[in-house]
Structure 1
Amino acid sequence: MRTWTLANMPDQTGRTAVITGATSGLGLAVAHALSARGARVIMAVRNIAKAEALRPQFPGADLAIHKLDTSDLDSVSSFAADLESRGDQVDVLINNAGIGNQPHAVSAQGHELHLATNHLGHFLLTALLLPNLANGKDPRVVTVASFMYKLGHFDFDNLHLTRGYNSGRAYSNSKLANVLFATELDRRLRATNSPVQSMLTHPGIARTPMISSAPGPILSRLTGSIAGLLGRPATQAALPINYAATAPEAPAGQMLSPGKTLRKTQVTQEPLRAKGFTPEAATTLWTHSENLTNAPYPTPQTP
């Protein structure tokens, strides 16, 4: 695992990857890596024009671009329906799109925007694509979290932070939601003997547009400076995502990272540690997420 590089990526010819948030940062880096190894890449993006402008970066690649705003559940449903109508087979879904450090706002459905964009949209998208993925070639769902999940902690009576909103707390909670989702999905897939695997990654401190998206020019410059000093380029930070999406030996349900900050980038398996990371929190969040999205996950069988 620690010696894995893009040179070790298996040939991806015949596999199709859906990548959310693929126009910049980690998503774009993963799109480049997978397409270079022969994968068909579906860029699921909010800004179609921005994605189309990137086509010259993918000479000879099998690249499709389709509209998807993960903050809007209607957009998620439309994307999945369009994909089904085209008859596209999906082999890997990379749940990457995300926002951070935003002032309080709500989604089209009235959900806190970090939670809606980073978790709820991907929760619904995964449910809608699972039947398709089950027929895929080495099918996987890769969820991109953040080490900031360790600061997350849910008050399920204040899930949308209508009381005591703080952008850092909102982001950390959404990343904890990613972790709880990926690990609970892994448990459910294994319980049903599904061929789909649930993979979990984080990029460490990465030099991506999100790092300088803090509200206010002073905080934005500060976080940008920190990323410049401590962060990895997106191509390096995306290494565990590419590993999770393609390596036959990649472990499901485990946190995969690029290793310690300021050290050589090496895909590393990290223990999951957080006050808010418990099996009880995972099942409770799953129930809330199902209720908020009407996601069509199978009802678990009782013994």
Structure 2
Amino acid sequence: MSNAFSPAPLPSREALHGLLLGTAAASAAARGSDGSRPGAEATLQVALLDGLADAVEWAQAGVGADDVACLWLGALRWVKAVDGAVPDGAPEPPSRGVASALGALADAEGGDAQNLAGLRSPEMSQPHRPFNRPAATVPELASTDGPGVLARALGLGLLEHATEEDVRRLATWSAAFSHGAPAAHAAAADAAVLMRALRTGAEPVAALRESLAAPSEGEAREALRRGVGHVITALEAGSSPFSGALAAAGEHDEAAAIVAGALAGALTGPSQVPAARVSDAENAAALLLADSLGPALGS
């Protein structure tokens, strides 16, 4: 069946703003929230991508910066917003406007609990070298899988002028900050490459279907497949892709809703996202980040 609804790629700022709001609104819908309380994964997505903005700003000033380290500092800002402090022994990240807009996040709801568990570490976990603090006494935590790696990866896929190799690298490392399983890292890399394909002119349904063909398994991979499937169904029905996110939310599947919401927002922009589902903090932070990072992402 051919899809009747095939949106043209948006300017990068609009795609980023749509992705951030789409993630937040889909998460809220799945949690049954009225938008008064922020979502844990939506706010972590914003904080990590603000770390990328930090690296871009250094580069624009002619100063080299470690992009992965900047992403991790963004994650630490999120941990600080949730816990009130960074983990003992971790560096204190410099202040950023987006983190200030998010404010305190002790009441952030939902999402993959492994995000916070994995990020409560004084050192930056790396692929194949996890520093997840409890792993010393509970070794299986070094192989944690879960869908919490996907929202940040989809955001990194908006780097349309980066090579596919670079997009995969950033998505893999950002996944490793909190999740140790190679399957989660692979799912994150593939999610980022899917978004990159959508941003660089691939026909949406074809690109989405191709992403379903990856043979690897795991919790993150299954959540990616479910979310992508909902968007395909919406596109082939001639509907707005955000209806796919709402379908996942109606099944109380927050992980799939987040994937579908991020994809839908990036495809159609913020005007297609139900704004009432997005908290004031998420709205303010998304707008700041769209203005600061959006123009640097691509066209």
TM-score normalised per structure 2: 0.33
Query: Which of the pair has the greater relative contact order for Cα pairs under 8 Å at 6+ separation?
Result: 2
> Higher helix proportion, which one?
2
TM-score with structure 1 setting the length: 0.32
